[in-house]
Structure 1
Amino acid sequence: MKLSELVAQYVSHKRALGMRFNSEAATLASFCHRLDGDIDVESVTAEQVHDFLTGNRPLTNHWGKRRSVLDCLFRFALSRGYVTASPLPRYSPKLPPPLIPYIYSQQELKRLLDVASAACSPYGLLDAYVLRALILILYGACLRHGEALRLTMQDVDLDEAVLHVRESKFYRSRLVPLGADLNSAMQAYARQRNQRFGQAPAAPFFCLRDGRPLSQKAVCKAFQRQRTLANIQREGGASCQPRLHDLRHSGAVHRLIAWYRCGADLQLLLPQLATYLGHIDLAGTQRYLTLTPELLNAASTRFETYVLEVQHE
């Protein structure tokens, strides 16, 4: 069997199981292109796999993701008798530690909003008011940026202050309520947007100047300019800089800090936060949230209050 045939069969199999499998399919397509898809699967060597995984790129955690995709492909091939052995390397190189999410401060969030106009070129396709609204909803509603970009007009009910997020990362839909301030900001955005593009139910809620849906590429480029203008950076080089996705992390962590400060029952509220974020279990939420000095201080203050109460009983 040819490598291209194996990949096509494997991708079809995964999608038949209900998976989108888009990023994995892109990795496999790149693998086919690198090796020439006409090669016999049994002829793929460990050296070819190693060259694809490592190449001339710096070693990052994407190495592990690519290896996992290829490993699953060849396990599939083994289970069907297409190959007699897997060419995957038996040992993994020492990878850099996972990237720690960046938690934006309230001051940094304000600076991001303040420089939105400067980050959007008057000759480009992205308007500043759209970028500003996107930043607000990613942070305030803790959305993944893909979820926000896929929102249509029928998904956004600002009269009831709720978003309908359809088939997100784990192929589940959920309702996301909006706070009063965020809903008011989205209403102001919607009025400006609707004057230009109308309110067709299937039209994108966030759109470019020509009415097309926002693309991830356009948004990420604008956000990089926005982050630079706001002077938000950290050590570690280009691959370690604060990301658009970290707005979601920041919104969740700031919510956790607020709960700590008001003495709320965290054990009771964490499952609710997991549902709000679209996680399938509590473990995902616990791993997702990143402790910050501010959160540790809040936790310490709450513990001291508890100790004093016990001493006075």
Structure 2
Amino acid sequence: MKSFSRALGDRDMDQVDSGQVHMYLAGKGPVTRFWHRKLDALRGFYRFALARGYATSSPLPLTAPQQPLLFAPYIYSRDEIKRLIAATAGRERCNLSSPTCRTLLLLLYGTGLRISEALHLDLADVDLDAGILHIRESKFYKTRLVPTGADLTRILVHYRAERNPQFPATPDAPFLLTQRGQRLSRAGAENAFKQIRERAGVRRDKSARYQPRLHDVRHAFAVNRLISWYREGSDVQRLLPQLATYLGHVHIAATQHYLTMTPELLREASLRFEHYALGGDTHA
């Protein structure tokens, strides 16, 4: 409502016409789901105004364009992750070496870190002896410890050993470096990933508006973690809060946003429910 008031300026409600409302709703870009959220808010506002006599008519449109499909993250299969990793070899990309691209992808897939968290890691934040990452003041200004498995720790140890010795190795130096010894930028990392993705042949249908993103690796981590728990017979409901903490979420509802239902996840959940229904266990 504040943005509507700023857009229309200081005027009586009966001075607001349908053309002005249309311009506010349309904005400057294509129709998104936000268009419909704005319209829903204005409908409630005008119902209130008409009922109390603050307005004599409503300038809101009687019809609305069809809502665009809800964006769905791309959940990489294990085979696609392998193809992406293989595609990092060979050529240098956007001032990033092949080892840096490979390490970044494996780091994101092995830990579910946000891209910004991985890029902001300093040498002092990567405890290779303990296999612990110190994520400092990330989203919501939270600091947390993220353990790395044995395989990922070995990869990080190898990258740290091969890191160009001509660049600073002080505790506050970035862990992931460009070929010029600078900290990776998000734009640089995402641009390199687009090239890797194309080389690996990982893509949505050509008609899709959005192609798989680097951030979707985090979604894949969360979904594959659940699949593994189901296959191990673990109590998934009990473990979900732990996954939320690991991902750096304040509330479990934020974690649920990452749990896109894939055929593989649905199959494992169905098998668990079937086992439960037959009296096999109580962890459904």
Whether the aligned pair in 2 keeps the contact of 1:257 and 1:294 (CA below 8 Å) is yes
Whether the aligned pair in 2 keeps the contact of 1:118 and 1:226 (CA below 8 Å) is no
Give the gaps of 5 or more residues in structure 1.
Answer: 1-27, 29-40, 72-88
Whether the aligned pair in 2 keeps the contact of 1:119 and 1:222 (CA below 8 Å) is no
Moved over 4 A (4+): 45-49, 61-65, 89-94
Q: Could you say if the C-alpha distance between residues 200 and 47 of structure 1 is closer, same or farther in structure 2, counting changes exceeding 3 Å?
A: farther
Q: Could you say if the C-alpha distance between residues 299 and 145 of structure 1 is closer, same or farther in structure 2, counting changes exceeding 3 Å?
A: same
Identity of aligned residues (%): 46
Instruction: Provide the aligned length of Structure 1 versus Structure 2.
Output: 252
Counterpart residue number, 1:58? 30
Q: Could you say if the C-alpha distance between residues 50 and 197 of structure 1 is closer, same or farther in structure 2, counting changes exceeding 3 Å?
A: farther
Whether the aligned pair in 1 keeps the contact of 2:174 and 2:183 (CA below 8 Å) is yes
Counterpart residue number, 1:241? 211
Find the aligned partners of 2:20 and 2:279 in 1 and give their Cα distance. Answer: 65
Instruction: Tell me how far 1:304 sits from its aligned partner.
Output: 2.3
Matched, 1:170 2:143: no
Q: Could you say if the C-alpha distance between residues 154 and 64 of structure 1 is closer, same or farther in structure 2, counting changes exceeding 3 Å?
A: farther
Correspondent of 2:177 among 207, 232, 257: 207
Give the gaps of 5 or more residues in structure 2.
Answer: 4-8, 42-58
Find the aligned partners of 2:159 and 2:90 in 1 and give their Cα distance. Answer: 18
Per-residue Cα deviation, 1:26-79 (whole angstroms, up to 9, x for no partner): xx9xxxxxxxxxxxx759x98599479633x433457689x7xxx9xxxxxxxx
Q: Comparing both structures, which one devotes a greater share of its residues to helix?
A: 1
Correspondent of 1:300 among 253, 270, 278: 270
Whether the aligned pair in 2 keeps the contact of 1:119 and 1:225 (CA below 8 Å) is no
What is the 5 A alignment of 1:128-277?
128-193=98-163, 195-235=165-205, 237=207, 239-277=209-247
Matched, 1:98 2:78: no
Whether the aligned pair in 1 keeps the contact of 2:73 and 2:216 (CA below 8 Å) is yes
The structure number with the bigger radius of gyration is 2
Matched to 1:226, the amino acid is I
Which region of structure 1 is more displaced relative to structure 2, 266-275 or 227-236? 227-236
TM-score by length of 2: 0.78
Per-residue Cα deviation, 1:71-125 (whole angstroms, up to 9, x for no partner): 9xxxxxxxxxxxxxxxxx978865413211111011100110111135634xx41
Whether the aligned pair in 1 keeps the contact of 2:25 and 2:35 (CA below 8 Å) is no
Counterpart residue number, 1:79? none
Whether the aligned pair in 1 keeps the contact of 2:223 and 2:258 (CA below 8 Å) is no
Q: Could you say if the C-alpha distance between residues 62 and 175 of structure 1 is closer, same or farther in structure 2, counting changes exceeding 3 Å?
A: farther
Q: Could you say if the C-alpha distance between residues 197 and 237 of structure 1 is closer, same or farther in structure 2, counting changes exceeding 3 Å?
A: farther
Matched to 1:96, the amino acid is P
Q: Could you say if the C-alpha distance between residues 200 and 306 of structure 1 is closer, same or farther in structure 2, counting changes exceeding 3 Å?
A: same
Counterpart residue number, 2:49? none
Find the aligned partners of 2:74 and 2:209 in 1 and give their Cα distance. Answer: 12
Find the aligned partners of 1:296 and 1:186 in 2 and give their Cα distance. Answer: 33
Find the aligned partners of 2:122 and 2:232 in 1 and give their Cα distance. Answer: 36
TM-score by length of 1: 0.71
Counterpart residue number, 2:79? 107
Q: Could you say if the C-alpha distance between residues 119 and 105 of structure 1 is closer, same or farther in structure 2, counting changes exceeding 3 Å?
A: farther
Whether the aligned pair in 2 keeps the contact of 1:143 and 1:248 (CA below 8 Å) is yes
Matched to 1:197, the amino acid is F
Aligned partner of residue 140 in structure 2, secondary structure: coil
Whether the aligned pair in 2 keeps the contact of 1:103 and 1:249 (CA below 8 Å) is yes
Aligned partner of residue 165 in structure 2, secondary structure: helix
